[in-house]
A and B are shown apart, each in its own frame.
Chain A
């Protein structure tokens, strides 16, 4: 069964450094998302991406964050200058055709640890 893959599984970064989290969504999907889960808290929406542009973003997704689909397969989340509070599990998700309810399928996440 097709799946969403994320790399790396664990990323350790010094505060203030830039980090890029990578995702390969399911190949025929059209919508792409990033969510995060801080330890002990809910899974929270960060951003959705469709047709090569952001379709919605949360208030968490400030100027430090950016997303990109640099080619036909990868979808990346960049955090420009990491803060301690960015430590979390980051999940990428994708979903299928437009204008119908389609479940989002999630990758196994990247654990980001900011030191």
Chain B
């Protein structure tokens, strides 16, 4: 089941630069997308989300872009900080009413180099 794909298992970025994490999906019924950050021995922490009626959502250093025609979303982190080093998961849900189950990608390990 590869409905949500994160094709880059790892990414290294210099501190202060932009980090761009990518996610592709195949299920056209997905209408709500989320990014989670995970440290070892902790649960996923919600970062930012976007509804399919939008193409961009911004929260501080984090911006999520959604391209519905390409079934692609990305997370931009600017500027990147050492504390951003973690595994980032893309997740999606379908149904329109909210609170449906999440389908996760496999994650991208982001390393910020000081």
Residues on the A chain within 8 Å of B44, using CB: 43, 91, 106
**Interface size range of chain A in the complex:** 20 to 34
Q: Are B101 and A109 neighbours in the complex by a CB distance under 8 Å?
A: no
Q: Are A50 and B101 neighbours in the complex by a CB distance under 8 Å?
A: no
Q: Are B101 and A33 neighbours in the complex by a CB distance under 8 Å?
A: yes
* With contact pairs A43-B89, A45-B102 given, residues A108 and B42 touching in the complex (Cβ less than 8 Å): yes
Residues on the A chain within 8 Å of B70, using CB: none
Q: Are B99 and A45 neighbours in the complex by a CB distance under 8 Å?
A: no
**B interface size (C-beta, 8 A):** 25
Kindly list 18 other residue pairs between chains A and B, CB separation below 8 angstroms, not including A33-B102, A42-B104, A101-B93.
A30-B99, A42-B107, A43-B89, A43-B91, A43-B104, A45-B101, A58-B101, A98-B98, A98-B99, A101-B32, A101-B49, A101-B51, A103-B46, A104-B102, A106-B43, A106-B44, A106-B46, A108-B43
Q: List 12 A-B contacts (CB under 8 A).
A: A31-B99, A33-B102, A48-B99, A48-B101, A58-B101, A93-B43, A99-B98, A100-B97, A101-B93, A104-B46, A104-B99, A108-B41
